[in-house]
Amino acid sequence: MKEDSRGHYGLALTLLAMALAAFILTGKSEAADNNGAYGPFIPVKITTAGVEDNQRIQELITRQLSAIKKRQGDEAYALTTGALHQKYETANQFMSMMRFSCRPVYNHVSYEFLDQARTDDGGVIQRLEVKHSNGDPATVIYRLRRTPEGNWGIDSFSILDNEAGQDI
């Protein structure tokens, strides 16, 4: 693989990371089905969301990161849906998890949106690079889904920090 100007490996590594994120974010462990295919892989289409969806998704993540930085748990939690609501029933539980388990996001000083892909099931995977207050960078992979009302919500995310993934 050829290294690009930012020191990251090209498209192949990005695609591999997004496929890994889709695997991690499902949170399931399934055996082979009758056709011999193994779960819990989610087929990932390497296409970007529409421009309007892309802007809404980035605004949603920006709002959540801002709320987390301001320690506004109710607002940060309100932007989550699905898997995160099942795992953390209250804003206090969510913010406690952020404080103790997700320090790169909880204590971020900056962030940059990277690539984005739409999954076959209509979800979107958005990759960010966040810089922790101690200066260390981490990659955060967000999985977003539409709510029953048709809005985007943050379904789950993973922090890839020091080459050790953390599934949230």
Strands 108-119 and 152-161: unpaired
- Confidence (pLDDT) at 20: 52
Nearest to 142 by CA among 16, 18, 7: 18
Q: How confident is the model at residue 85 (pLDDT cuts 50, 70, 90)?
A: confident
Mean pLDDT of all residues in 126-155: 92
* CATH-assigned architecture of domain 48-167: Roll (3.10)
User: What burial class does residue 164 get, using C-beta atoms within 10 Å of its C-beta: 0-12 exposed, 13-18 middle, 19+ buried?
Assistant: exposed
Tokens linked to 25: 């974010």
- Confidence (pLDDT) at 111: 96
- Is the pLDDT reported for residue 74 higher than 90? yes
- Confidence (pLDDT) at 19: 52
pTM score of the predicted model: 0.68
Q: How many Cα neighbours within 13 Å face the side chain of 125?
A: 30
Nearest to 38 by CA among 28, 52, 51: 28
Task: Return the domain boundaries, the chain.
Answer: 48-167
Q: How confident is the model at residue 26 (pLDDT cuts 50, 70, 90)?
A: very low
